[in-house]
Structure 1
Amino acid sequence: MAMTRINIDEPRWDQSTYIGRARHFFTTTNPANLFCSASELEWARTTVTKYRNGEVVDLPEDVLWRAKHVYDSAFHPDTGEKMMLIGRMSAQVPMNMTITGCMLSFYKTTPAVVFWQWINQSFNAVVNYTNRSGDSPITVKQLGTSYVLATGGALITALGLNSLVKSMPPLVGRLVPFTAVAAANCVNIPMMRMKEWREVGLALQTSDGSSLGVASKKAAVEGVAMVTVSRIGMAVPSCVLPPLLMNSLEKKGVLRRMPWIGAPLQVLLCGICLTFATPACCALFPQKAAISVDRLEPEIQAKIRAMENPPTVVYYNKGL
């Protein structure tokens, strides 16, 4: 019996609802996809390619979606090339839980702060490079500038605050890494996408996905702002909740009796937090964001209103 064809190039769940977006990103960031074998990845690639080419793929719908999700977890959406392991979205939780847990554990000495902030921004650079756009790739200069500025911003924030909070309660010192991560995100993301909000803008579409043939810098500014908020939101649970718990354990003398437990416990806690915070914060804003025509640049407004049956609201891909 022939299966009704489905559109595997759109998410499986309704993206107009928060729950639908969250289910989509829980699947996208699932760390279990890292353990897919080479043969399973090749099966997923072959299945998706055949289905997109209109060939008959005799698989149940759930299995077809499984192939699509495995494919998305490992292959670049524009180029189709297999991405490096630690740069994949499915590596976000295990990599970030290790790095964040160590940043929270080793925050008191300058060498430790420098090392772990550098490791964090190096990982971010790998992720940004791995997931770069195939149509508008990140240049080496842009990547390097963003990397240097984000690393510098994180270090200045962390080391500067560490020197200021020495006389404050221990909990304040434990929260310094979060402030440094937030500061780095505020530099890194706008820098990586500078070309969009300064030069080319983001392509605008109608509600049904039809291109309007124009791009808006104001839409790009909004998109970058939403992504920055989402990234900072992802860091809140893993950078705030473990320090609260560790501060409580320190007051009760647990860390004094078992000093070895600090780093492993914080890594574990970060993993639990990030497992839920990563997809939950990716889903905060719709991927296909809306903007009123009245809020666009005057010249873009004029072009849209000159069209037949001009829309009052247009849409754009905000990025991740």
Structure 2
Amino acid sequence: MTAGVTTFNIDAPRWDQSTFTGRVKHFFNITDPRTLFVSEHELDMAQTLVESCRVGVVPPGTNEEKLYYAKKLYDSAFHPDSGEKMNLIGRMSFQVPGGMAITGCMLQFYRTVPAVVFWQWVNQSFNAIVNYTNRNAANPISLKQIGVAYFTATSTALATAVGLNLYTKRAPSLVARWVPFAAVAAANCVNIPLMRQQELINGITVTDENGNTLGKSRKAAIKGITQVVVSRIVMAAPGMILLPVIMEKLEKYPFMSKIRVFHAPLQTILVGGFLVFMVPIGCALFPQRSSIALSHLEPDLRESIVAKHGDKVPYAYFNKGL
């Protein structure tokens, strides 16, 4: 057994999560699309190594780099609350390839209502899978609630996209190109809260600094879900706002009219370039282990914490989800 590995804290992030730079490095690591090509066997081996390290049992010859790589695979593929392996499409590491393909098509095929309807539906289906996969797993959601969230978010996106598409018929073409982003932003404001409605109804588990459970808080849920909504919109914003400007400029050149068939692949590649950076940056905007001041919790929960711990717990902590 390598010296120093026996005291290795496998659950501690490699980089300081109290800083934005540290969080960006962390999420660049776990949203790495290359982890999608790792075999199921290797993922299971990484899980076994992580779980063994948690109880202080590390195979001989295992160094810190091997443990860090196992943690990278574990964090990219397993849910932080339940420890269950997440479906491939819902993993944050799938955001770049999945998001670039769908967003590229939304930005390219925005001129006709049928195309708008189809690609917004595809995007909301993708978002529903991602939101469900990355929910706070301590709060189960029924199939009926999933269906309502999916239907409502899809309807919101379609209503926004089709309505603005018709409204901007006489507007400058660049304005029409921004319609997909407006629809995506509006749908995120609906999809995420509805998909995680159990957290808003029942609250999410909050703990002290050492991970000891303090109770459940709806206010913590509101804060966490709001942060996730903002993060998702920020992820999409640069590509969906700047790329239409770039394409508007490029399409004025004669050579672009000769290669129209390549416009969609070009936009897809360019969107991918934005998402490679914006997915980890969006995830890093707020700490994964979020905190809320004791004074901001519900009165009954605050009173119970004070009665049990006095003034030793100024903040409560919770997993905000992704």
TM-score w.r.t. the length of structure 1 is 0.93
Q: Aligned partners of 2:193 and 2:133: how far apart in 1?
A: 17
Q: The residue matched to 1:203 in structure 2 has which SS?
A: strand
Q: Which residue of 2 aligns with 1:51?
A: 53
Q: Which residue of 2 aligns with 1:234?
A: 235
Q: Aligned partners of 1:218 and 1:201: how far apart in 2?
A: 7
Q: Aligned partners of 1:290 and 1:204: how far apart in 2?
A: 9
Counterpart amino acid of 1:240? I
In structure 1, runs of 5+ residues without a counterpart are: none
Q: Which residue of 2 aligns with 1:292?
A: 293
Task: Tell me, yes or no, if the aligned pair for 1:22 and 1:283 is still in contact at 8 Å.
Answer: yes
Q: Aligned partners of 1:70 and 1:193: how far apart in 2?
A: 26
Q: Which residue of 1 aligns with 2:67?
A: 64
Q: Which residue of 1 aligns with 2:171?
A: 168
Correspondence 1:130 to 2:167: no
Task: Tell me, yes or no, if the aligned pair for 2:138 and 2:205 is still in contact at 8 Å.
Answer: no
Q: Deviations over 1:108-160 (max 9, x none)?
A: 11111111111111112222343455432222111111110010000000000
Q: Aligned partners of 1:312 and 1:38: how far apart in 2?
A: 42
**Structure-to-structure mapping, 1:135-154, within 5 angstroms:** 135-154=138-157
Q: Aligned partners of 2:302 and 2:136: how far apart in 1?
A: 27
Task: Tell me, yes or no, if the aligned pair for 1:132 and 1:138 is still in contact at 8 Å.
Answer: no
% identical aligned pairs: 53
Change (3 A) 1:120 1:24: same
Correspondence 1:93 to 2:93: no
Superposed displacement of residue 254, structure 1? 4.0
Deviates more, 1:298-307 or 1:242-251: 298-307
Change (3 A) 1:126 1:229: same
Q: Deviations over 1:75-133 (max 9, x none)?
A: 34455444332222211110000000000000111111111111111112222343455
Change (3 A) 1:290 1:134: closer
Deviates more, 1:63-72 or 1:180-189: 63-72
Q: The residue matched to 2:257 in structure 1 has which SS?
A: helix
Counterpart amino acid of 1:42? D
Correspondence 1:307 to 2:308: yes
Task: Tell me, yes or no, if the aligned pair for 1:201 and 1:218 is still in contact at 8 Å.
Answer: yes
Q: Aligned partners of 1:307 and 1:137: how far apart in 2?
A: 28
Q: Aligned partners of 1:206 and 1:38: how far apart in 2?
A: 35
Q: Aligned partners of 1:133 and 1:316: how far apart in 2?
A: 9
Q: The residue matched to 1:251 in structure 2 has which SS?
A: coil
Q: Aligned partners of 2:293 and 2:178: how far apart in 1?
A: 38
Query: What's the C-alpha RMSD, in Å, of the aligned pairs?
Result: 1.8
Q: Which residue of 1 aligns with 2:28?
A: 26
Q: Deviations over 1:55-92 (max 9, x none)?
A: 23231101111012112323344554443322222111
Q: Aligned partners of 2:148 and 2:111: how far apart in 1?
A: 28
Q: Aligned partners of 1:308 and 1:117: how far apart in 2?
A: 49
Q: Aligned partners of 1:161 and 1:67: how far apart in 2?
A: 46
TM-score w.r.t. the length of structure 2 is 0.92
Q: Aligned partners of 2:30 and 2:126: how far apart in 1?
A: 19
Change (3 A) 1:291 1:81: closer
**Structure-to-structure mapping, 1:160-309, within 5 angstroms:** 160-197=163-200, 199-212=201-214, 214-309=215-310
Superposed displacement of residue 194, structure 1? 1.3
Counterpart amino acid of 2:222? V
Task: Tell me, yes or no, if the aligned pair for 1:87 and 1:131 is still in contact at 8 Å.
Answer: yes
Q: The residue matched to 1:181 in structure 2 has which SS?
A: helix
Counterpart amino acid of 1:135? A
Change (3 A) 1:49 1:296: closer
Change (3 A) 1:301 1:50: closer
Counterpart amino acid of 1:278? V
Q: Deviations over 1:230-278 (max 9, x none)?
A: 1110010121121110011123344323212210111001101001000
Task: Tell me, yes or no, if the aligned pair for 2:157 and 2:187 is still in contact at 8 Å.
Answer: yes
Q: Aligned partners of 1:196 and 1:130: how far apart in 2?
A: 14
Task: Tell me, yes or no, if the aligned pair for 2:128 and 2:191 is still in contact at 8 Å.
Answer: no
Q: Aligned partners of 1:76 and 1:221: how far apart in 2?
A: 21
Superposed displacement of residue 211, structure 1? 2.3
Q: Aligned partners of 2:216 and 2:51: how far apart in 1?
A: 30
Q: The residue matched to 1:307 in structure 2 has which SS?
A: helix
Task: Tell me, yes or no, if the aligned pair for 2:128 and 2:195 is still in contact at 8 Å.
Answer: no
Change (3 A) 1:95 1:251: same
Q: Which residue of 1 aligns with 2:15?
A: 13
Superposed displacement of residue 306, structure 1? 2.1
Q: Aligned partners of 1:87 and 1:216: how far apart in 2?
A: 26
Deviates more, 1:239-248 or 1:30-39: 30-39
